[in-house]
Amino acid sequence: MALCLRTSSRSIIHYLKSKMGLLSFSSSSLTHQHHQKPPFTAPTAQNLRDPFANFSTKVNLLSTRRFQSTKVEEQWDSLNHAHHNQVLDFPGGKVAFTPEMRFISESPVERVHCYRVLDDNGQVIMSSKFKQVSEEIAVKMYSDMVTLQTMDSVFYEAQRQGRISFYATTIGEEAINIASAAALTIDDLVFPQYREPGVLLWRGFSLQEFANQCFGNKDDYGKGRQMPIHYGSHKHNYFTVAATIATQIPHAVGAAYSLKMDRKKACVITYFGDGGTSEGDFHAALNFAAVMEVPVIFFCRNNGWAISTPTSDQFRSDGVVVKGPAYGVRSIRVDGNDTLAIYTAVHAAREMAISENRPILIEALTYRVGHHSTSDDSTKYRPVDEIEWWRSARDPVARFRKWIESNGWWCSEDESELRTSVRKQMLHAIQVAEKADKPPIAELFTDVYNVPPSNLCEQEKFLRETMKRHPQDYMPDVPV
């Protein structure tokens, strides 16, 4: 048995030498010590066959004998520490092992902070860092925010009068529209949801063009095929709105990949609401963007409600911003009612996206003050007092006005003149759009096939015959 112990000990010593480089560590000294009564149980036959099958046990046994050399003892401790702190070289990076079983908490101790520059009174918060804005840009930003407000008011009234079939406002989210657009360039591609007309407004889309689309006349770029607010403009790099939720998000990633392949110094931005993050398109798009390393900005308007569904019924995570890092996407949370914070965040996101070829996720915390659309009555599912508080205390337009006024760039006279002028222009645009002819019926069947298939031709023929038989059911101003 003593011979067996001696053979096993020699094997262990040889292993330690190879791992620690203990050139001065002699096996004879330890062999001599084995003549004393060993303070451990004799090894099993299995251990004799494979002396390293239970290496950790042997280390503990040997540690009962103190080394006379301090250097050797330190090296021994280093080996023991390394044994418990090994890493796995796994795809994506090295992963450290731990003897502790610890589950990642489903909720952090502290929620992700929200970047802010202006307080509720329109004053710059001390020590805040933000992208400086010139007087010219600041005044244009504010003017477009007021224009967007006025446009929403007039179109909403037109729908209630039965002059257009549908409308959705951006009340409470004007800063998101205008400030994000101001931080981009015309070369950047926009994949909107349906609450970002301010981006088009900033890029030069006229009030008349907005009216033409909402009334679906012959001058509408969509040729009357889309319902109101589904804008699109090739000239302004603004892809046509699709009513299907979140489908634009993976499209944006594909477009960003094409920009990367063409080495363009531009990026893509796509907008969506908190409800859109419950769609598979959102998750697939983030993963796609991270893996392909494309210049795209994911802009989430977390306004608290997906029509009548609150965020508490959408997810249990800390909002949307935490979903980015899970997919390897750099992320930030921003005050969605702070014009300067949004402008700064998007400006920085664009620079990172283009220079580093990486996706960025921005979560803007805001509130949808208006109804989801003209088909909705939000007072049925949320308190009126809550709506009014956000309308008055957190209005992004009023907050930004206080800031430009404090800089001496705006006054009450400017305000009155702007609002009067914009409303007058809007009413005129509606009158013109309303009187314009409708697109001919033939346009319903064009722009898809080079040569229309037989079934489509049959449908067109059937529609024309139906209109002739029942003229009272169709608008008289639609050319047949």
Rounded to 5 degrees, φ, ψ at 360 are -130, 135
248 has a pLDDT exceeding 60 = yes
Give 367's pLDDT tier (boundaries 50, 70, 90).
very high
Give 309's pLDDT tier (boundaries 50, 70, 90).
very high
**For residues 61-76, average pLDDT:** 51
Lowest average pLDDT, out of 75-84, 286-295, 386-395, goes to 75-84
Q: What is the tens place of the pLDDT at every residue in 92-104?
A: 889 999 899 999 8
Q: What is the structure's pLDDT at 226?
A: 94
Give 478's pLDDT tier (boundaries 50, 70, 90).
confident
72 has a pLDDT exceeding 80 = no
Give 51's pLDDT tier (boundaries 50, 70, 90).
very low
Alpha helix ranges (H) inside 39-160: 45-49, 55-62, 70-83, 135-160
49 has a pLDDT exceeding 90 = no
DSSP state of 234: T
Q: What is the structure's pLDDT at 474?
A: 87
415 has a pLDDT exceeding 60 = yes
224 close to 439: Cβ distance less than 8 angstroms: yes
110 close to 139: Cβ distance less than 8 angstroms: no
The percentage of the chain sitting over the pLDDT mark of 90, rounded to a whole number, equals 77
Q: What is the structure's pLDDT at 477?
A: 76
Give me the numbers of helices (H) and strands (E) for the chain, helices first please.
17, 9
Q: What is the structure's pLDDT at 57?
A: 47
Tokens 């066959």 sit on residue = 49
**For residues 398-414, average pLDDT:** 98
**For residues 210-232, average pLDDT:** 97
β-pair type (87-90, 93-96): antiparallel
Rounded to 5 degrees, φ, ψ at 6 are -65, -40
Residue of 391, 409, 343, 366 lying closest to 128 (CA atoms): 343
How many CB atoms within 10 Å of residue 141? 24
Tokens of 436: 């314009």
Residue of 226, 231, 251 lying closest to 241 (CA atoms): 231
45 has a pLDDT exceeding 80 = no
380 has a pLDDT exceeding 70 = yes
Give 48's pLDDT tier (boundaries 50, 70, 90).
very low
Q: What is the structure's pLDDT at 83?
A: 54
Rounded to 5 degrees, φ, ψ at 425 are -65, -40
Residue of 359, 287, 300, 289 lying closest to 180 (CA atoms): 300
Query: What's the chain's average pLDDT?
Result: 87
Vertex 446, ends 440 and 447: CA angle to 5°?
130
389 has a pLDDT exceeding 60 = yes
Q: Residue 89, class by beta-carbon neighbours within 10 Å (0-12 exposed, 13-18 middle, 19+ buried)?
A: exposed
Lowest average pLDDT, out of 11-20, 56-65, 210-219, goes to 56-65
**For residues 411-430, average pLDDT:** 98
Rounded to 5 degrees, φ, ψ at 448 are -115, -55
Residue of 161, 137, 215, 152 lying closest to 400 (CA atoms): 137
Task: Quote the radius of gyration of the chain (alpha carbons, Å).
Answer: 34
Q: What is the structure's pLDDT at 107?
A: 81
Q: What is the structure's pLDDT at 71?
A: 58
Lowest average pLDDT, out of 33-37, 75-79, 310-314, 348-352, goes to 33-37
Q: What is the structure's pLDDT at 302?
A: 97
235 has a pLDDT exceeding 60 = yes
Q: What is the tens place of the pLDDT at every residue in 152-210?
A: 999 999 999 999 999 999 999 999 999 999 999 999 999 999 999 999 999 999 999 99
290 close to 329: Cβ distance less than 8 angstroms: yes
Residues facing 331 on adjacent strands: 361
Known catalytic residues are 368, 372, 381
Q: What is the tens place of the pLDDT at every residue in 138-167?
A: 999 999 999 999 999 999 999 999 999 999
25 has a pLDDT exceeding 60 = no
402 has a pLDDT exceeding 50 = yes
